[in-house]
Amino acid sequence: MKLESISIAGNNSTQSGVGKKFLIISISMTVLLNLSVAIWFFRYVQQNGLDKFLIR
């Protein structure tokens, strides 16, 4: 009986670049979300002050 190696990711999956595209999209969306939260925070602090943000 001869054992053969089984590869989970075939040759075509590394050439398509789906994982790379997904990584780029997910990183860019994470950066966009963090940037929008930071912009909201700075605008809120400018309007209301840091004390109102910390103590409600």
- Give 37-51 pLDDT, tens digit per residue: 999 999 999 998 888
3-state secondary structure of 20: helix
Cα dihedral value 9, 11, 14, 15, nearest 10: -150
Alpha carbons 27 and 19: distance in angstroms, whole number: 12
pLDDT band of residue 17 (cuts 50, 70, 90) is: confident
pLDDT band of residue 30 (cuts 50, 70, 90) is: very high
Residues with Cβ within 8 Å of 45's Cβ and at least 6 positions away in sequence, in order, are 53
The whole-model pTM stands at 0.58
Query: Per-residue pLDDT tens for 19-28?
Result: 999 999 999 9
